[in-house]
Structures are given as structure tokens and as C-alpha cells.
């Protein structure tokens, strides 16, 4: 029975190097989507657009809903104005 | 331009673009239901007629060239939502696809990059609203010789409606609602148009004698059976055959398609898994046939939309739909039908399913092949790419397995990814292919886009339902709404 | 010439391969049984109709407004 390989030495070094290069490769590979990076976003069957908060003009969701309804009524008003004045455009 | 990336285009606009706040605290189950439904309903309410459209639009002028794509994107002609959610969906799908294929460089690990990417998606959506609005304005779709005021007003209305649609979708996406805003809108709009087509009570004048018929096919049948100017046979025949308003044949076809897609949704392969930590704990991990749901079809329809809008620009705006022009001869033109629709002629008709099966067989027999082939090829390609980039690929799932301490029965942990790699891409591709064939069949039978929209609507509904079920179980079933409705909830 | 041939073969083989694999997959799939399916249909159908009816109610609000302004 041959003696076991001594600890350390060539083999272990090689193994370590291999493990290191695999790790490097994994780190270099940038994720292809925000879900792959682990931050929510579209999954295989759900299309998501907005998951992060960018530094834009922040608005409250309720404000969005009310403004949207307000916008529709302003279009209604536009119709009324067009009708009353006969010919607006 | 070293180091300049496509997403950097969004940088200067970052502070200008409205952005819905991320919720500070966890939104409860009931609140989510309310936010989702209210957002979708406001979207429906936005399908309101545009102000400033010329009165004489109709006979002889420019008609609707994309009528068979509309219901997929929840759009209605000559309303504020002329383009529906198309710009939102298309910019999201295309940008995520390009980023996944590494054509657009984004490092999703960096918050800064994710924000830029998201803002860019939104900007491109709004830009598309603006461009499409002007394509339609200058094609004469809203009337020839519009005044400058009218043009400005139409622009403002269409773009503002687009921005609001984007924000409504964002409210749901950001976590106030369930899953995806675009899909919620699509489900609600599809359901609404189905109800309107079958049970709609609105009356429309149908002939010169002042007779009126209901929009809903079923309501129309009951009305016709009771009316004095029709015999029973003609009433029943009319209910199944009329082509100016929804008829019962289409209604049954749509129900059939919905049932088939619901059935396919439950096709799955169950891989048996076991825990690596404890002995004797076995379970199954289902891989669905429709792994990517209805998204591949949505992508195919985005492509169709671009092709048809491109053709519309060339034929209508450049060549004025003039049969003697070169473009008309090369691409085909439009012929006006019922003073409502613009039906493309050969060769553009190759990608346009006709209004009825008979027309498809007699007038454009090639379309059956080209249209089906187009849908199948584009869907399958998208599905195979998408499963790899959307964070649910074989590798991602094997990582999840490892984290949760599970593995496939009879496999070493290391070969899990390889084993899944044999299943997932095949499932995605096959599922997308089957779904595309079903939609193509429905469309060739004359559903005018309703076939595609019901299939996308049903698959989206299932995807959302799954999220809702999970959420409901996580919230411990504490929902006042569920109690009111008497539902045990999350039954499956 | 030979190279061209193999390329063409590859192009025609890929879809055939895909169809074969796909068909095998669909055959292997576990299909929902009737009981399971009817349960799903009922749940989704009721939900779909309910949402549709609420949506249609909203659309009905449009009718008087349209009547007023046209």
C-alpha cells in the first residue's frame, strides 16, 4: 500500500487554483436580469417593469390614482368646452 | 465614447421622471387587492374618446390599421388609450431582452444601474406614446387638415394618458398591488371586453330602418327572439353570424380557447425532490409546460405591432395609400371595410389574419402558413431566451435548491443544474409553441385579436393568481375581503 | 460543398429535433384530471367574470358622459 500523498504540495495548490478560477468566473458573470441578481423584477411568467426606487420626482400612489381620474375629467371638460363654443379647434 | 453605455442616456432625465414611492411598510393583503383593482379600473376609465377629433372621421378617410392587435394591448381606437399598454410592454420586454442578451450593458448588481435601466424603460415607453401619437395624427386617422391647436391638444391628451397608464402600472409593480401592473391591466381589460361582447347591453343602430341591436351576443339573441320583425330562425342565425357586432360563434370560440389554455396551464412534469438535511422528506417540484406563461405570445404581438405600424407609416404617410405608388405595389395597401377597418392587402396580408375563416381560405390561403409560422417561431425563440435570462433558468433554480437544502432524488447536488437544463428549455419552447399554434388557429377562425388576448389574459390570470395565493397564505389568511366573500381562499 | 450540406442539414434538423423533444415532453407531462380541471375552471371562471362585470360597469359610466358631450 503506497503512502498517502503528503498534505500541501502540488495537488492541493492545483485544486485551490481551480476553485479560485471557478469563483472568479462566477463573479465576473454579470446577471442577465434584476431577478437573476436577486432584486425582484420579471420572472419566467410575470413581466415586471418597476421594482427599484429611482431618484425621480417622488409621488405617492394615491396621488397618482387621483391625478389620473382628474386628468380624465379634464378631458371631459375639454369635450364640454368644445361643444359649448361650437368650434374650438 | 469610451465607457458610455446605452442606459446612461437616462441620466440627465433622472430627476424629471415621476417615480412612485416604494411602500414604507408592508402592504396588507386587502389593500393590495384594492390597489390592483382600482388601478386597473382607472385604466379602463381612461378608455375615453379623444377631444379634438374631426367630426367627419369615418367614411372615406383613414381607418384603423391595427384592429386585430388592439385587444391584446387593451387599446381602443380614437380614445385616450389609442395604443393601450403597447408602449409600456414593448419597451419593457425589448429592453429586458437586450439586457439579458448583453447587447445593452447593465450591471444588475448595482443599484445605480438598476435605477437607470428602469428610468430608461419608462422614458422609452413615453417616447413611444409620443411617436405613435404623431404617426396617427399625421396619417389623418383623426381627420385631415387638423388645426395646430387640435394637433397640440391631441398630442397632450395621448402622451398624458400614456404617462398615467405607465404610472398606474408602476403603482401595482412597486408592491402596492399583486405582481405585474401590465398583466393586471391585461386581465381586467380582457375580462371586461369578454363581458361586453357577451352580455353588453349597449344598443347600436344596425340598418337604415332604425333597428338597433345590442353589443352583447347573448343579449342580442334574447332580444332578437322576442322582437317582432324577425323569425326564430333568422334571429338565431343572426346571433351566430352577424359580423358587424360580436356574435355567439366568436363567444364560444373564445370560451373554448380560454378552457384550452387553462387546461394547458396545468400540464407539468413533476420532478421528485428530497431534502439533503433530513432523511425521508420527499416532495415533488413541478416544471410547467407553460414555463414562460403568455409572455412569448405577448412578444410575438409586439413584433407584429411594430411591423404593422412600420407598414402603416410607409403606406399611409409616405405613399398616401395610393395604388399606383411603388410602396403600395411592394408592401400592399389598405382597403377600407365597413368604413371601420383598414384591411391590409397582399403581401402585408401574410401577417394579418382575416376577419373570417371563409375569407382566410378563399382570399388569402397563404396567410394560414405565414401567420402561424411567424407566431410559432418568434414565440419559441423568445421563450427559450427568456427562460435563460429571467432568473428562473436551470442554474438559478439549482442555486435555489442548494440554498433550501433540497436536491433531485437520485442525483448528486452538483448535477441538479444539468438535469434541470434538460427539462426547462424544452418545456419553455414546447409550451410557447403549443400556445402559439392555439392562438394562430383561433385568429385564423376570425377572432380579430380576441383569441390572442384571451389566451394572454388567462395565462396572466393564472400567473397573478399564483402570486395572490402565496401572498394570502403568507398573510395567514387574515383577510376581511375573503371573509366577506365567504371564500376559504387560496383553495388551490 | 460538403460543408454547405451539413449546414443545411443542421438548419433543417434543429426544428425537427425541437418538435420531437417537445412532443415527447408534452406526452410525459402530467395532465390535470377532470376533477382538478373543473375546480380550476370554476375558480378562474368566476373570478374572470366578476372582474369583467365590474369593469363593464365602469365602461357603462362612459355612456351617459358620451351622450352628454357628443
Which DSSP category does B22 fall into?
A: P
Q: CA B470, CA B467: separation in Å to the nearest integer?
A: 5
The answer to whether the CB atoms of B458 and C48 lie below 8 A apart is: yes
Name the residue facing B195 among C29, C39, C49 (closest C-beta).
C49
Angstrom CA distances, B437 to B32, B199, B293, stand at 35, 29, 14
Domain extent listing, chain C: 5-69
Q: How far is B77 from chain C (nearest CA, A)?
A: 15
The pLDDT confidence band at residue A8, using thresholds 50, 70 and 90, is: low
CB B25 within 8 A of CB B59: no
Distance from CA of A46 to the nearest CA of C (A): 18
Residue range B11-21+28-200+247-475 forms a domain whose CATH class is mainly alpha
Q: What would the grid cell of residue A58 be?
A: 417622488
Do residues B109 and A30 make contact, with C-beta atoms less than 8 angstroms apart? Answer: yes
Length of chain C, in residues = 70
Contacts of A35 in chain B (CB under 8 A): 390-392
* Nearest to B57, CA basis, from B157, B145, B154: B145
Q: State the smallest CA–CA distance between residue C10 and chain B in angstroms.
A: 17
Residue B140 is predicted with a pLDDT of 84
- Which SS3 state, helix, strand or coil, does residue B284 take? strand
Instruction: Please indicate if any CB of chain A lies within 8 Å of the CB of C65.
Output: yes
Q: What is the pLDDT of residues C3-54, one digit of tens each?
A: 556 777 777 777 888 888 888 888 888 888 888 888 888 888 898 999 999 9
The pLDDT of residue B337: 74
Percentage of chain A exceeding pLDDT 70:
67
Question: Cell numbers of B59, please?
Answer: 367614411
Q: Do B194 and C63 touch (CB under 8 A)?
A: no
Q: Which residues of A touch C65 (CB under 8 A)?
A: 76
- Closest partner residue to B108 (CB to CB) among A31, A50, A55 is A31
Q: 3-state secondary structure string, B396-421? A: HHHHHHHHHCEEECCCCHHHHHHHHH
pLDDT of residue B488: 44
Q: Which residue has the cell 415621476?
A: B18
Place of cell 435563460: B388
All three cell numbers of B69: 392587435
Contacts of C69 in chain A (CB under 8 A): 76, 79-80, 83
- CA–chain centroid gap for B117, Å, is 22
The B residues from 424 to 443 touching C (CB cutoff 8 Å) are 426-427, 429-430, 433-434
- Diameter over CA atoms, chain B: 79
Q: Is the CB of C61 inside 8 Å of chain A's CB atoms?
A: no
Indicate yes or no: CB of B41 within 8 angstroms of CB of C55: yes
Confidence (pTM): 0.88
Check CB contact of A55 with chain B, cutoff 8 Å. yes
Chain B, chain C: beta-carbon pairs less than 8 Å apart: 112
Q: Chain C: residue nearest A75 by CA?
A: C69
pLDDT for B421: 86
From chain C residues 14-43, the ones with a CB under 8 A of any chain B CB are 18, 21-23, 25-26, 28-32, 36-37, 39-41, 43
Instruction: Please give the Cα distance from B263 to B424 (Å, whole number).
Output: 19
Q: What is the pLDDT of residues A14-39, one digit of tens each?
A: 777 777 666 655 555 677 777 777 77
Point out the residue among C25, C55, C63 whose CB comes nearest to the CB of B430: C25
Which chain A residue has its CA at the smallest distance from C70's CA? A83
Nearest CA in chain A to B112: A54
Touching C (3+ Cβ pairs <8 A), the chains are A, B
Query: Neighbours of A (≥3 Cβ pairs closer than 8 A)?
Result: B, C
Selected for mutation to probe chain A from C61, C69, C70 (highest A CB count within 10 Å) is: C69
The residue in chain A having the minimum alpha-carbon distance to the alpha carbon of residue B425 is: A44
Shortest Cα distance from B344 to chain A (angstroms)?
31
Could A80 and C68 be called an inter-chain contact, meaning their C-beta atoms sit closer than 8 Å? yes
Kindly determine whether residue C65 and residue A76, on different chains, have CB atoms separated by under 8 Å: yes
Residue C68 contacts A, CB cutoff 8 Å: yes
C56 to B188: CB separation less than 8 angstroms, yes or no: no
Contact predicate B39/A65, CB 8 Å: yes
Residues 6+ apart with CB under 8 A from B296: B378, B379, B380, B382, B383, B386, B432, B435, B436
**Measured between CB atoms, does C44 come within 8 Å of chain B?**
yes
Given this model, what pLDDT does residue B411 score? 78
**Res B478: pLDDT:** 67
- Determine the straight-line distance between the first and last CA of chain A, rounded to whole angstroms: 101
**Gyration radius from chain C CA atoms:** 26
Residues in chain B, pLDDT under 50? 1-2, 488-492
| Percent helix, strand and coil across chain B, each to the nearest 5 | 60, 10, 30
Amino acid at each position: 500500500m503506497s503512502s498517502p500523498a503528503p498534505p500541501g504540495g502540488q495537488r492541493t495548490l492545483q485544486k485551490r487554483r481551480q476553485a479560485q478560477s471557478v469563483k472568479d468566473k462566477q463573479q465576473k458573470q454579470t446577471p442577465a436580469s434584476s431577478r437573476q441578481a436577486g432584486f425582484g423584477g420579471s420572472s419566467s411568467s410575470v413581466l415586471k417593469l418597476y421594482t427599484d426606487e429611482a431618484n425621480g420626482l417622488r409621488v405617492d400612489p394615491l396621488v397618482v390614482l387621483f391625478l389620473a381620474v382628474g386628468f380624465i375629467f379634464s378631458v371631459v371638460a375639454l369635450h364640454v368646452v368644445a361643444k359649448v363654443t361650437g368650434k374650438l379647434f | 465614447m469610451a465607457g458610455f453605455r446605452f442606459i446612461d442616456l437616462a441620466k440627465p432625465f433622472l430627476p424629471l421622471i415621476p417615480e412612485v414611492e416604494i411602500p414604507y411598510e408592508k402592504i396588507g393583503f386587502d389593500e393590495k387587492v384594492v390597489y390592483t383593482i382600482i388601478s386597473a379600473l382607472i385604466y379602463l376609465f381612461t378608455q375615453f374618446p379623444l377631444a379634438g377629433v374631426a367630426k367627419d372621421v369615418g367614411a372615406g378617410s383613414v381607418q384603423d390599421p391595427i384592429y386585430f392587435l388592439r385587444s391584446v394591448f387593451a387599446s381602443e381606437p380614437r380614445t385616450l388609450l389609442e395604443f393601450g399598454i403597447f408602449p409600456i410592454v414593448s419597451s419593457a420586454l425589448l429592453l429586458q431582452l437586450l439586457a439579458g442578451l448583453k447587447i445593452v450593458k447593465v450591471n444588475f448588481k448595482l443599484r445605480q444601474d438598476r435605477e437607470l435601466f428602469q428610468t430608461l424603460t419608462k422614458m422609452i415607453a413615453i417616447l413611444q406614446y409620443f411617436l405613435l401619437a404623431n404617426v396617427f395624427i399625421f396619417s389623418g386617422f383623426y381627420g385631415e387638415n387638423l388645426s395646430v391647436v387640435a394637433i397640440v391638444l391631441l398630442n397632450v391628451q395621448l402622451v398624458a394618458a400614456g404617462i398615467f397608464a405607465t404610472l398606474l402600472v408602476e403603482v401595482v409593480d412597486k408592491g402596492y398591488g399583486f405582481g405585474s401592473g401590465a398583466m393586471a391591466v391585461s386581465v381586467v381589460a380582457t375580462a371586461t371586453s369578454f363581458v361586453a361582447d357577451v352580455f353588453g347591453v349597449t344598443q347600436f343602430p344596425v340598418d337604415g330602418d332604425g333597428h338597433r341591436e345590442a353589443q352583447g351576443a347573448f343579449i342580442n339573441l334574447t332580444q332578437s327572439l322576442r322582437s317582432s320583425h324577425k323569425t326564430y330562425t333568422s334571429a338565431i342565425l343572426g346571433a351566430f353570424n352577424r359580423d358587424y357586432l360580436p356574435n355567439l360563434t366568436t363567444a364560444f370560440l373564445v370560451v373554448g380557447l380560454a378552457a384550452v389554455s387553462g387546461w394547458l396551464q396545468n400540464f407539468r412534469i413533476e420532478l421528485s425532490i428530497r431534502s439533503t438535511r433530513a432523511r425521508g422528506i420527499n416532495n415533488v417540484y413541478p416544471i410547467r409546460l407553460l414555463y414562460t406563461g403568455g409572455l412569448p405570445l405577448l412578444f410575438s404581438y409586439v413584433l407584429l405591432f411594430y411591423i404593422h405600424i412600420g407598414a402603416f407609416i410607409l403606406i399611409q404617410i409616405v405613399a398616401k395609400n395610393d395604388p399606383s405608388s411603388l410602396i403600395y405595389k411592394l408592401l400592399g395597401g389598405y382597403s377600407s371595410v365597413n368604413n371601420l377597418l383598414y384591411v391590409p392587402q397582399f403581401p402585408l396580408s401574410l401577417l394579418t389574419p382575416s376577419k373570417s375563416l371563409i375569407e382566410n381560405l378563399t382570399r388569402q390561403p397563404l396567410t394560414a402558413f405565414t401567420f402561424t409560422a411567424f407566431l410559432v417561431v418568434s414565440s419559441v425563440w423568445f421563450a427559450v431566451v427568456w427562460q435563460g435570462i429571467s432568473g428562473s433558468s436551470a442554474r438559478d433554480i439549482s442555486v435555489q435548491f442548494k440554498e433550501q437544502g433540497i436536491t433531485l432524488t437520485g442525483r448528486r447536488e452538483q448535477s441538479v443544474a444539468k438535469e434541470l437544463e434538460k427539462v426547462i428549455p424544452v418545456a419553455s419552447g414546447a409550451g410557447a409553441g403549443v400556445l402559439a399554434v392555439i392562438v394562430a388557429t383561433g385568429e385564423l377562425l376570425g377572432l380579430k385579436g380576441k383569441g390572442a388576448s384571451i389566451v394572454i389574459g388567462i395565462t396572466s390570470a393564472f400567473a397573478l393568481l399564483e402570486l395572490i395565493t402565496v401572498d394570502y397564505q403568507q398573510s395567514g389568511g387574515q383577510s376581511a375581503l375573503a371573509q366577506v366573500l365567504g371564500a376559504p381562499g387560496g383553495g388551490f | 460543398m460538403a460543408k454547405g450540406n451539413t449546414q443545411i442539414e443542421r438548419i433543417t434538423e434543429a426544428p425537427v429535433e425541437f418538435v420531437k423533444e417537445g412532443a415527447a415532453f408534452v406526452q410525459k407531462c402530467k395532465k390535470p384530471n377532470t376533477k382538478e380541471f373543473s375546480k380550476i375552471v370554476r375558480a378562474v371562471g368566476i373570478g374572470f367574470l366578476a372582474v369583467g362585470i365590474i369593469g363593464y360597469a365602469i365602461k357603462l359610466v362612459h355612456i351617459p358622459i358620451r351622450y352628454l358631450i357628443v
